[in-house]
Structure 1
Amino acid sequence: MISLIEAENHHTSTTAAIARLARAINLSKGQFSLLLACCNSHNKQHLLSLLHEFSPMAIAELSLSASAETLYTSITNTLGSNQPEALMVHGLESVIAINQLIISTNLMRDEFAKKFQFPLVLWVNDEILRKLVLLAPDLKDWAATTIRFDLPDHILVG
């Protein structure tokens, strides 16, 4: 059983992390930046809803399919010639060929900055974050400090 104080502490840390992420997105308006949001919970929908409430910008979302081969192509195929104010990508943990996707993203990193004039938020879990560090250290170095959402699933429901 979770205590009321523990629940309030989790709520406070979630709100602070959401505020940091919204601020980072807003500060990068009109220019490319890579932001990493790390959450191991299976219920991110609550966090996404909070982020939309906190941010005055229209944040587009892209959920990667399990068969995605490259992040760059997935984004360009989805957006076409549109440039959203910001883009959140989730579903990296479900990509079958995740190692290849991460390696290709690292190799194409300069194209992201050339083509995308908006902040890009990658929602990752600890496993994907470790893979970024190992397989794409240059890309990981581009990212601002990783914003962590370390909350148990039972806190986020609701």
Structure 2
Amino acid sequence: MIGLSNSENGIVSSIAATKRLARAMMVSGGEFSLILACCNCVERQQQVLNLLTEFSSADIHEILLSPAADTLYTAITTAIGATQPEALMVRGLESVVEINQLIISTNIMRDEFRKQFQFPLVLWVNDEILRKLVWLAPDFKDWAASTIRFDVPHNQLVEAEQQAISA
């Protein structure tokens, strides 16, 4: 019974977070905004993206970063060319080999994002990437209103596992 309750809570939580994401993209209204979507499971990201089509009519473009990506700005401009999508989702940050360098360069180039992109930019991050953004790109990270979470933070999972083991 507890498993079902937790599962139902997870579904309700995911739907609410997906609606928040759709609303955040809609509110942007053709201007740059940074939205951080935190999800520690890549499969869950895909589920959310599938669900998002039910809550948003926006033409959402998606970029999957290469592990060899060295700057976020260049990866985006190369992928979109001269087009300005209604919204852009960037996935794959967790697979970038030189992630620290990519994040530092993003912070340095942050003003170009506002100048060149007239759409909401959704960065899919996990807890580790989110921590790196806080430490390595605080100015860029501050542009995000709040982080929309799509799963339980890793430290809460560890605590729950430890409580279950000791019970």
Percent identity for Structure 1 against Structure 2:
67
Which stretch of structure 1 is more off in the superposition, 41-50 or 98-107? 41-50
Q: 1:142 to 1:11 in 2, by over 3 A?
A: same
Deviation at 1:151, TM superposition (A): 5.0
One-letter amino acid of the structure 2 residue matched with residue 33 of structure 1: S
Partner of 1:50: 51
User: Could you tell me which residue of structure 2 aligns to residue 148 of structure 1?
Assistant: 149
Q: Which has the larger radius of gyration?
A: 2
Q: What is the Cα deviation at residue 149 of structure 1?
A: 0.9
One-letter amino acid of the structure 2 residue matched with residue 123 of structure 1: W
Q: Secondary structure at the match of 2:58?
A: coil
Question: CA–CA distance in 2 between the matches of 1:134 and 1:151?
Answer: 21
CA distance in structure 2 between the aligned counterparts of 1:15 and 1:129, rounded to whole angstroms: 22
**Partner Cα separation in structure 1 for residue 76 and residue 148 of structure 2:** 22
Q: Aligned AA for 2:5?
A: I
Q: What is aligned with 2:158? A: none
C-alpha RMSD of the superposition: 1.4
TM-score, normalised relative to structure 2: 0.88
Is the aligned partner of 1:124 residue 2:125? yes
* Structure-1 residue corresponding to 2:164: none
Partner of 1:31: 31
Residue 37 of structure 1: CA displacement?
Answer: 0.2
Output the CA distance in 2 between the equivalents of 1:139 and 1:42: 23
1:62-77 alignment, distance < 5 Å: 62-77=63-78
Structure 1: which 5+ runs fail to align? 153-158
How far residue 147 of structure 1 moved from its aligned partner, in angstroms, is: 0.3
TM-fit CA distance, 1:41: 1.2
Corresponding residue pairs, total = 152
